[in-house]
Every structure is written in C-alpha cells, then in structure tokens.
Amino acid sequence: MLPEDEEGAQAGHAVGVGTDPLGAEASAETLEAEPVTVRVATTANGNGAGTGTAEQDGAPPSLNGHGTASQPPDDGDGTTPQPPDDGDGSRMTLFEHLAELRRRVLYCALAIIVTSIAGWFLYNPVLHFMTEPYRAFYHSHKHLVTPELVISSPTEGFTTRLKVSMYIGLALAAPVWLWQAWQFITPGLKQNEKRYAVPFVLSALALFSMGVVTAILVWPKALDWLIGASGNGVAPLFSPAGYVSLYVLICLVFGGVFLYPIIVVFLMIARVVPSSKWRKWRRPAIVVLCGVAAVVTPSNDPFTFLGMAVPMVLFYEMSIIVGRLLKR
C-alpha cells in the first residue's frame, strides 16, 4: 500500500469515529443515565472514507434523543395484553346489574299476574276457609244477625276480591319470585357465603310458614274472645274488607316475628354476640319478647299473645343451643 493510501485510511477512520455530534451527545446522556457498553464498528469504503456504527447494551430507546418511550409488548397480533381478570369472567357493570334486576322483576311480575288471575277463581273457597271461624262462632251464638260478611258499599266486595286474589297470587308465585331473588343475589356471593346462605334461606321459609300456620290455628280462639269481649248488647256485623285485612295482617305479623331466630343465629355465627351473652341475657330477653308479642299482635287478645310469646321464647332457647353446637 502506498503512503498516500495509508494516510487516507487513517483520516477516514478518524472522520468515521469522531465527527458525529449526535452520537457524542447520546454518549454523554447515556453515561449520565446509567453505565452502558459501547461497541464501535468501523468500515472503510473504497474511497478511503470510514463509517462508524454504535450499539448500546442496556440503554432504553428514549435516551438517544430521537426514540420514543418504551411500549408494553404485544401478544403477537398487534394488541396490547390486558391484565388478567381475577374473577370467573362474570363481572358486570352497573347498567348490566340494573338490566338484570329489571329482567328478574319482570319475571316476578308476570308470575304474580298469572297466579293472581288464578286466585280470582279461587276466591270463593279461600274466603270460605277464612270465614270458617266466624261461622263456627255464629252456630254457637244463635242470637247473631248473620254468619256472612256484609258489604257497606257497592265497590267493597269487588275491591276485597281483588285484594284476596293478589294475596293468593303472591302465595302461589312464591317459588318463582324467591327463585328469581336467589338467582340475582347468589352471583355476588363467595363460596363460603353460599354455604351459609342456603341453610339460612331454607330456615327462613320454614319459620315463616310456621308463623302463618300458628296464626291460622290461633285465629278462631282470638276471634271468639274479641267478639265475646264486645259485650252482650253488641252484635257483630263484619265487612269483608276489615275481616280479611285483619286476618292477613295477623298471618304476616306471625310469619315475620318467627324469623327473629335467624337474626340471633347470624349474630352468633358472625361472632358479634356469642351464645354466652344470650344465655346471660335470658331473663331480660324473655321479658322483652313478651312485651314485643303484646305490642305487635293486631287483635290484642290473650290467645294471640300466647300463641306468639311462647314460640318466641322457645325459639330463643333453640337459637342458644344452635350457637353452642356451632361453638359460637
């Protein structure tokens, strides 16, 4: 090689390495950010001019002054991966919950309408069953005017039939609206909560039914006492609206009050009030239960009072036993 060619190659090498101002600035910024390894490769072209390339290991693309911020890797199809869902894929938005609630309520309403139409045709036998205690009282007291209910306005009989039909519809449609309520609630429950939910729901249905049956059994004695306490110069002449309303109210009150053991057991399972406290509060609790039974009974007769107070005390003791069995 001639001396002129050697000098040209050296000059080209110097130009390829040291005449890139952007590369110098990038190197300075890189050294300030974090230590990196720089590898310089040089090549010489036919004219003796050299070119230089730099590779940086460990430097982010944004440090060279020309690149963009780092982006999360894609899944290979051009889409950014989403964080995994910690549920089972059934998470719903607020509007989806409202739409689901509307759908469940619509099913319940349709079921109640259909069963209420059936209740319209079952009105006579149901009313006959409800007024049986009144007719039994009439047969033992011949001085009464009539064993039948008496309406005082043209529309009273019709409105009473509508009410009774709706009551029958609610009772007949109970499996439907209870199932719809269960299907709406259970998706939001955890597995351990569902384990307790099923016994609680079944116990609530059983206790409410026991309350209604108790009210039906107590009603004849309560009606007898109420009519007898009116005095000798008073003859009963009941309207269907008042009689049916009082009958249904007593059934609902008994059914609702009989649910209180569910609350007691729930407080023990949640460790809010242990069974030892309930045992300690036995005497004042009995007084409170008797007071509640005296206040909530619509008829205020002793038979209805005893029919409610005695089961409430028994349920209190049973709740304590259940709490001790559950070691609460």
Q: Where are the alpha helices (DSSP H) in 81-172?
A: 94-121, 123-130, 132-140, 156-172
What does each of the 328 residues of the chain score in pLDDT, given as a tens digit?
444 444 444 444 444 444 444 444 444 444 444 444 444 444 444 444 444 444 444 444 444 444 444 454 554 445 554 444 444 445 778 888 888 889 999 999 999 999 999 999 999 999 999 998 888 887 777 666 677 888 888 888 899 999 999 999 998 998 888 888 888 887 777 777 777 778 888 888 889 999 999 999 988 888 888 887 777 777 788 889 889 999 999 999 898 888 888 888 888 887 788 888 888 888 898 899 888 888 888 777 788 888 888 988 998 888 888 888 877 6
Distance from C-alpha of 263 to C-alpha of 275, rounded to nearest angstrom? 13
What gap in Å lies between CA 304 and CA 32, rounded to an integer?
A: 90
Closest Cα partner for 240 from 117, 143, 134?
134
Whether the Cβ atoms of residue 199 and residue 161 lie closer than 8 Å to each other: no
Where in the chain are the domains?
3-56, 103-325
Structure-derived torsion over alpha carbons of residues 267, 191, 198, 115, reported in degrees to the nearest 10: 120
pLDDT value, residue 151: 87
0.75 exceeded by pTM? no
Residue 307: per-residue pLDDT: 86
- The pLDDT value recorded for residue 96 is 83
Of 159, 183, 199, 164, the closest CA to residue 108 belongs to 183
Which of 53, 49, 46, 56 is CA-nearest to residue 14?
Answer: 49
